[in-house]
A and B are shown apart, each in its own frame.
Chain A
Amino acid sequence: MAEALLQVRGLRKRFQRAGSDVLALDDVDLDVAAGTTVALAGASGSGKSTLARCVLRLTEPDAGAVRFDGVDLLGLGAAALRARRPGLQMVFQDPAASFNPRATVGRVLADPLRVHGLAPRTEWRARALALLDMVRLPGTLLDRRPHELSGGQQQRVAIARALATAPKLVVLDEPVSALDVSVRNAVLNLLMDLQEKTGVAYLLISHDLAVVRAVAREVAVMEGGRIVERGTVSEVFAQPQAAATRALLAAVPRLVVG
């Protein structure tokens, strides 16, 4: 079998907090195959965000390996890592906090092209317009500032920015939990459409198993820095083995009409 797009092996990370040691990641293995969606589910403090940050090297792990697209990311120096960045992008929970507040939407979308030298200045506007179209936003938003947009529109801009570099993997960190329920499904549908169109893979981080179930085929459940259960969503949800999985399943709100 070919090597997975993302291969995480034996990842460990220890934090010092209030004088005591916290093992945030304890020997974590994880694979994401090209073009697929793998969900990383867990409650707050389970280690799922630390894992995502280590994959992106926003946090340096203490031990282990992260291979992405055949290359050991942890062994790369700053310049070599920067050269790999276009292939590996991230969408955050709170889109508003991830934008330069003074930049226009056009500037937000052109920044990755400029930073990574992916297109000449003369093409930035056209590329930004094409990206807006890809996430189903009107081109008239190009000269607006992100704070003038609704939460759903902001998250679409964040998705467009992540896709600007034609990445092979996007880490989605709670991509819809800050959005109104009435726009969540449209953003999730958009993510699924974009995956079909571009072949991008997603590592979806979420505590909400209804979201996980809707978009992922595989799921890994974390608790206390370890992956306590993994498998296909249909198997794991039908017969959860770990207490953490059962707690997350039981916690999904259900409509009660007495």
Chain B
Amino acid sequence: MTFLAVRGLGVSYGGVAALAGVSLTLAAGRRLAVLGESGSGKSTLAMAVCGLLPAGAVMAGEVSFPLLGAPVLGRDIGVVFQDPGGSLNPVLTIGEQIAEVAVVHRGLSWRAAAAQAARLLDRMGIAQATSALRRHPHEFSGGQRQRIALAAALAADPVLLVADEPTSALDTVLQQQLIELLDQLVRERGLTLLFVTHDIALASMLADEVAVLYAGGLLETGVVGTVFRTPAHAYTRALLAARLDLDTPLGGRLPEIAADFSVVVPHG
């Protein structure tokens, strides 16, 4: 069943196109990785799905949710961003911020919402969750703040989670822990996931499907295994050939991606 349908989506800012002609669908309960580098339009696509495009953005085409009708951000869609500082208010306690989501969107009493916030924080691996509720964002590390932002995003029990480069500001160890947590939460809660990333390996670890964006256009989309085993586009092939991990052959220079997406290994 189609959960999300994007048809002919275009977004431009001040006459400059950030995204053009993007069409894709996502079934309920599936996980989509939107893969691209800076300027690819991947965050613009995620923000258009959330209805969070900035004022002045001109949108063409359509984003629809056949099962939900008109989803409410915060209630039906939870969002986490790259920088948790951007989604947490520095002057409120984290308990107020997490609980408010459930009070506003689910009509919980503050007492019930606070109890739920403590359970959520505990699930996110924040120690001494009940007393943590009374603390402010700056009292936590970057990795903890991202977990707190995730708790706030899930507090109203949304059906769609949009995670926009949630690990880019974290070191690899914290990144791995957050990816595992996301994987568990999506499974436990039966969430549909839209995961924005520039990292082809992270996309393969977390998602069922992938949409590869480049310079505002959708190059290819499909099931992760299919796209990464038999990539249709030269750019996807180049990303696969030039990825840097613990299996990258050593001894010479690293493979570089040229402007025409060919991959060359220069001589050292």
Contact = CB atoms under 8 A, between A and B. Distances in A.
Contacts of B244: 181, 184-185, 188, 210-211, 214
A252 to B, nearest CB: 5
Interface string B240-268: 10111111101001111100000000101
B201 A248 contact: no
Contacts of A213: 246, 248, 250
A228 B256 CA distance: 34
Contact of B257 (A18, A182, A209): A182
Nearest to A215: B254
Contacts, number: 114
Interface residues of B, number: 42
B137 to A, nearest CB: 14
A253 to B, nearest CB: 4
Contacts of B199: 181, 253
A44 B243 contact: no
Interface stretch (B60-68, B84-92, B126-134, B171-179): B171-179
Interface residues of A, number: 38
Contacts of A188: 244, 254
Contacts of A196: 268
A189 interface: yes
A182 B238 contact: yes
A151 interface: yes
B204 A189 contact: no
Contacts of B228: 255, 257
Interface string B183-220: 00000000000000011111011000000000000000
Contacts of A257: 204, 224-225, 228-229
B246 A255 contact: no
Given A43-B174, A257-B204, A252 B246 contact: yes
B77 interface: no
A16 B242 CA distance: 43
A258 B209 CA distance: 12
A253 B179 CA distance: 10
Contact of A253 (B142, B201, B240, B266): B201
B246 A251 contact: no
A193 interface: yes
A252 B245 contact: yes
Contacts of A247: 173
A225 B244 CA distance: 28
Contacts of B150: none
Contacts of A237: 246
A256 B229 CA distance: 10
Given A181-B243, A184-B244, A207-B172, A254 B238 contact: no
A149 interface: no
B37 A185 contact: no
Given A189-B266, A257-B225, A181 B37 contact: yes
Contacts of A209: 172, 246
A252 B141 CA distance: 21
A254 B175 contact: no
A33 interface: no
Of A43, A181, A183, A208, most buried by chain B (CB within 10 Å of CB) is: A181
B171 to A, nearest CB: 4
B245 A43 contact: no
B144 to A, nearest CB: 11
Nearest to A151: B38
A253 B203 CA distance: 10
Interface in A239-257: 247-257
B200 A181 contact: yes
Nearest to A252: B246
Interface string A13-43: 0000010000000000000000000000001
A181 B250 contact: no
Contacts of A18: 139
Interface of B: 37-38, 139, 141-143, 170-176, 198-202, 204-205, 224-225, 228-229, 238-240, 242-248, 250, 253-257, 266, 268
Given A182-B257, A255-B204, 15 more contacts: A43-B174, A150-B38, A181-B37, A182-B238, A185-B256, A188-B244, A247-B173, A251-B172, A251-B175, A252-B245, A253-B175, A255-B201, A256-B204, A257-B225, A257-B229
14 contacts: A43-B173, A44-B171, A181-B199, A185-B254, A186-B257, A189-B256, A189-B266, A207-B171, A207-B173, A209-B246, A210-B246, A255-B245, A257-B229, A258-B225
